[in-house]
Amino acid sequence: MSKFKVLILLFIFLFQINSFALKKLGKAGFKFLDVGIGARAAGIAGAYIVNGNSSDAVFFNPAGIAKFDGKFSFSASYTQWIADISYNAASFIYSAGVYGKFGIHFLSPSYPEIEGTAIADNSQGFIETGRYSISAFSVGLSYARSLTDKFMIGGNINYSTQDLGGQTVTYVEKDSNDQEISKTMKISNDASVISVDFGTIFYPKFTKLPTFGFAMTVRNFSPDVKVQERKFQLPLTYIIGFTADVFDIIGECKKDQRLMVEIDAIHPRDYTERLNVGFEYSYRNMFYLRTGYRFNYDEENVTFGLGYKKGPLTIDYSYGSFGVFNNVNRVSFGVRF
C-alpha cells in the first residue's frame, strides 16, 4: 500500500471519529488541568502528543521526553488566558542513560478576585458577602523510557488541589429554652486528588516515509473528587495522534528544512470528540513557523506561532483565537544540554 493511501485512510478514520461524536456528556472539575501548556504546542493547535520531545512534553504525552537526547531540559511558560486568568508552568527532565528519563513539572493558574454572594430575602434575592480569592496548582513526577529504537512509553503521577473559597451559611437552631438563635458556619470548598497520565509513541520507520509516527495518551485518570457532599471527576482525556514530514509525503527532499504535520483525535470526558491539526515549518533547526486549527471547539480555532533556537536556548511565542473572548498569548523559554 502506498504512503498516500495510508495517509488518506488515516484522515478518513480520524474524521469519522469526529463525525460520529455524541452530544455533551457532562461536566468535569479541575478544568485548569485542561489548558494547553507551552507556546510551541499552542502554536500548532495543541497537536503535540507525537512531536513533543523536550520537558514540556510531560503536559501532553510523557512518552515524548524519552526522545530527548541531552542530559537535562528545562522549560517555563506563561499563558495570558481569558477573563484575566493567567497560567504559569515549568518542567524539568533529567536523563539517567539506560535507566530512562526522570522529570518534575508544576502548573499554577492565577485567578482574579471574585465577588461572593449569598441568598437573601430582598428585592435582589442576594447580598454581597465580600471579595475572596481562589487558587489551584498541580505538581507531578514523570518517567519515560525507550524500550526499542521505535517504541517509547512514559507516565506522570500528579498531585492537584483547588480552593474555590470559603462559604458562609446562616442557619437557625433552638437553645435549651426553646428560643431561636441565628448562627453562621463557614464551609470550605477545597479538594485535592492524585491522578496519573500514561502515553506511548511508535515510529514504524517506513523506508519511504521515515518520519511517520503515531502515539496515544490518557490524561487525568483519577478517582472521583468530593467537595462537601458532591462528587465530580477530573477532565479525563484520551488522545491518538499521527505525524509525518510533508516533504516526505510529497516526495521532495528539502535540505535543512522540515514541515511536520500532526493530527490528534481527542476524546474528552466532558465534551464531544475534537480534532487538532498543526503544522510546524523549521529551517536549519533554528527558525520555526507554526500554525494549526482546532475543530469542534466552542470558541477556539486558528493558532499561529514562532520559535527560535540557538544552541541550548529556545524561545517560543503563540497566538490563538478565542472567539468572543480575548485572544490567548503564550510565551515559553527553554534550555537543554
Tens-digit pLDDT profile for residues 46-72: 999 999 999 999 999 999 999 999 999
Integer-rounded Cα Rg, in Å, for the chain is: 23
- Residue 168 pLDDT class (50, 70, 90 cuts): low
Three cell numbers at 301? Answer: 480555532
pLDDT digits (tens, 9 = 90+) for 6-43: 555 555 555 454 444 445 555 788 999 999 999 999 99
Share of the chain above pLDDT 70, in %: 89
Contact 114, 130 (CB under 8 A): no
Total count of residues recorded for the chain: 337
Q: 3-114+134-159+192-336 maps to which CATH number?
A: 2.40.160.60
Nearest to 34 by CA among 235, 221, 190, 191: 235
Contact 317, 306 (CB under 8 A): yes
The per-residue pLDDT for 13 is 52
The per-residue pLDDT for 20 is 46
pLDDT digits (tens, 9 = 90+) for 73-130: 999 999 999 989 999 999 999 999 999 999 999 999 999 988 777 777 777 877 777 7
- Residue 239 pLDDT class (50, 70, 90 cuts): very high
Three cell numbers at 5? Answer: 493511501
Which residue type is seen at 187? I
Domain ranges of the chain: 3-114+134-159+192-336
| Residue whose grid cell is 503521577 | 157
Is pTM beyond 0.95? Reply is: no
- Residue 164 pLDDT class (50, 70, 90 cuts): confident
Kindly give, in sequence order, each residue whose CB lies less than 8 Å from that of residue 316, ignoring residues fewer than 6 positions away: 38, 39, 40, 43, 288, 305, 306, 307, 308, 330, 331, 332, 333, 334
Three cell numbers at 234? Answer: 477530573
